């Protein structure tokens, strides 16, 4: 086990690069099977999902589009409770098969508040793919269609996820040491 320090906190190995990559390859196969000939539009939510989105998209063996939006509800280690959009969506979703890409669903607040905005544009279908899910923390009703890993309610960093801006460039996922 390896231990790293990010800001004032220690984190220990949780998901290895290999485990993450294998699971993403499986998700890409599953999604490709469900969306054959549909040319889905992926909407990746920045900043946290940039690595997941890039790796999933590389594995995807069907035609698909991708775009990026920025939402944030986090400050430090606790959900700030307020969902802020800072890069808006330019694509028209009408009639499209849309798949949201998230790094992690924690309380579910971010997506719960954002989904109606997307549904308003009348996409043909709207699904969610998240690399990580903390089921014990999720308080807002949400249907998660593709889940990479269900994990305990502990703060994690790495593979795009940050602790106050740092830790995103780590290839593995680390969990807060208790
Ligand atoms: P939610 O709205 O509470 O579901 O939080 C969603 C967002 O909070 C995610 O997209 C992440 O950016 C951030 N977040 C939640 N849990 C963690 C974590 O353990 N590490 C890093 N970021 C997290
Ligand atoms: Mg995020």
What are the per-10-residue average pLDDT scores of the chain (178 residues)?
Answer: 96 98 98 98 96 98 95 61 66 95 95 89 97 97 97 98 97 96
| C-beta of residue 168 within 8 angstroms of C-beta of residue 160 | yes
Number of domains in the chain: 1
Domain-embedded: residue 94: yes
pTM of the model: 0.94
122 occurs within a structural domain: yes
| Ligand 2 ion: residues within 5 Å (CB) | 48, 103
Over pLDDT 70: what percentage of the chain?
Answer: 91
Q: How far is CA 57 from CA 7, 62, 113, 155, 163, in A?
A: 31, 10, 25, 26, 25
Question: Can you tell me which atom of ligand 1 is nearest the CA of 137?
Answer: 3
The closest-lying atom of ligand 1 relative to the alpha carbon of residue 110 is 2
Distance of CA 34 to the CA centre of its chain: 19
- Residue 147 included in any domain: yes
Residue 171 lies in a domain: no
37 sits in the region (left: phi over 0; alpha: psi -120 to 50; else beta) called: left
Crossing angle (nearest 10°) for helices 50-59 and 17-34: 60
Within-domain flag for 56: yes
102 in any annotated domain: yes
Has residue 66 been placed in a domain? yes
In this prediction, residue 23 carries a pLDDT of 98
Is 106 designated active site? Answer: yes
What are the distances in angstroms from CA 108 to CA 65, 86, 141, 163? 25, 19, 7, 18
Q: Is residue 164 part of a domain?
A: no
Which CATH number covers residue 59? 3.40.50.2020
The whole-number pLDDT of residue 89 equals 83
165 vs 133: CA distance, rounded Å: 20
Q: Which residue range(s) make up the domain with 111?
A: 20-154
């Amino acid at each position: 086990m390896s231990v790293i320090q990010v800001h004032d906190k220690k984190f220990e190995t949780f998901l290895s690069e290999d485990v993450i990559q294998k699971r993403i390859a499986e998700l890409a196969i599953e999604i490709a099977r469900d969306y054959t000939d549909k040319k889905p539009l992926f909407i990746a939510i920045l900043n946290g999902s940039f690595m997941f989105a890039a790796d999933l998209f590389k594995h995807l063996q069907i035609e698909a589009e991708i775009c990026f939006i920025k939402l944030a509800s986090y400050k430090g280690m606790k959900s700030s409770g307020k969902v802020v959009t800072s890069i808006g969506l330019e694509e028209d979703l009408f009639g499209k098969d849309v798949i949201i890409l998230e790094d992690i669903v924690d309380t579910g607040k971010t997506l719960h508040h954002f989904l109606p905005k997307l549904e308003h544009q009348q996409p043909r279908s709207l699904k969610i793919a998240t690399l990580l899910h903390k089921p014990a923390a999720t308080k807002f009703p949400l249907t998660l269609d593709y889940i990479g890993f269900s994990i305990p309610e502990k703060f994690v960093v790495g593979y795009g996820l940050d602790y106050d801006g740092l830790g995103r460039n780590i290839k593995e996922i680390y969990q807060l040491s208790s």
